[in-house]
Amino acid sequence: MFDSGSTGFMLLSSSLVMLMTPALAFFYGGLATKRNILGIMIQSFVSLGWSTLLWFIIGYSLCFSGTMATGNDFFGIFGNLNKCFLHGITPSTPLNGNGNIPELVFISFQMMFAIITPALITGAFVNRITFKAYFIFLTLWQFLVYYPFCHMVWGGGLLAEWGVLDFAGGIVVHTLAGFAALASVFFVGARVDKNSTPNSIPLVAIGSGLLWFGWYGFNAGSELKVDSVTATAFLNTDIAASFALVTWLVIEWIRSRKPKLVGVLTGSIAGLATITPCAGFVPLWASPIIGIIAGIGCYLAVEWKNSRQWDDALDVWGVHGVGGFIGTILLGIFASTTINSNGNDGLIFGNSSFFWKETITTILAAAYGFIFTYIILWIINKITPVRVSKKDELEGIDSAILGEKAYDEGCL
């Protein structure tokens, strides 16, 4: 009944995307200061567990049950409640519109996106948020930000009906999370001690390598089957990441007179975030251009952020937010139906309408993610303090909040 090759590939892709959340914990954990390693890592792992529970109970249903075209969703913004607790879905239920794979496989794949998206935000407010506030934030942000945009873009909602495309999450994941991170920075404020020297660059490298590895499942898996588009998305992902990495390396080498490993790793993530919305819609010749623009654009965004003294500790906005934003606009330029017949033609192929739809949508997503995140944090702060005390911040989240230390300094 099901295509075993596509089903097996999608299970592998789901596993790769799942791996990205622990990889993110390593990446952020290495960038954090020595007193805050566990504090940032636990946030990723909690999202891995709690977001899964929410997805099983109601999240999948709100994202992927009902469509605007059939009139059985909530105004094109949320799905309905018919699939809460995965009601009515059996191992033999095919994915609607794609009979090659079971719906259970699609549920698993999309669940991994719901897990990692809020975890991305945490790098912006490292060592400043109480665990209680983070837990509430994780819950509310899924319901008020991620679920509606997931349904609107990928679940047959309002934006999908308008013709908006997002191959693997430039809008739904990176733009939303990146601009939510910026709102978090503005609400929470700067760190008392801005010395953010990474405690372990090798750990950053391990996390970065695993993220890159997982991104093949993230992007290529978003085709939901194995075909020429899958192969194109896979290779576009690697090419764009590599060009962005080298671009960042060259810029930083010229400016600081030294090549920087953290810069190389950051550049690769910028390229990966930027190619994400484009991966299965653009020709291979466009991916080097996208990678170079990603390296330049995200580097300048981080430098501008620093000049404005916005304390986005781990550059979530500059890399993911700006990367996803740029990538979605570039999708509107370079998309081609010769690559993916289910896509659209972009600006250079004579379709200015599609370009403007992508541009308007990513601006909307950035504004929505920023505004609603700020409101969510304001509400939480009325219930429980969002920011840790100055004493706890100086002591470090690991010790003050978790009562643990990453390293036993008494051991040899």
Tokens 């990513």 map to which residue?
Answer: 362
DSSP assignment, residue 67? -
In words, the CATH class of domain 4-402 is mainly alpha
β-strand partners of 94 = 102
pLDDT tens, residue by residue, 26-70 = 999 999 988 999 999 999 999 999 999 999 999 999 999 999 999
Cα 229-318-213 angle, rounded to 5 deg: 40
Mean pLDDT, the chain, rounded, equals 96
Q: Looking at the predicted structure, is the pLDDT value of residue 410 above 60?
A: no
Q: Which among 39, 75, 93 is positioned nearest to 395, based on CA atoms?
A: 39
Euclidean distance between CA atoms 317 and 322, whole angstroms: 6
Tokens 């791996």 map to which residue?
Answer: 19
Which residue type, as a one-letter code, is found at position 73?
Answer: D
Q: Looking at the predicted structure, is the pLDDT value of residue 194 above 90?
A: no
- pLDDT value, residue 31: 93
- pLDDT value, residue 386: 97
pTM, rounded to two decimals: 0.96
Average pLDDT over residues 352-364: 98
DSSP per-residue codes, 161-185: HHT---SSSIIIIIIHHHHHHHHHH
SS3 94: strand
Q: Looking at the predicted structure, is the pLDDT value of residue 412 above 50?
A: no
Six-digit token pair at 287? 């991916």
Q: Looking at the predicted structure, is the pLDDT value of residue 137 above 60?
A: yes
Six-digit token pair at 406? 């990453």
Q: Where are the domains of the chain?
A: 4-402
Average pLDDT over residues 360-369: 98
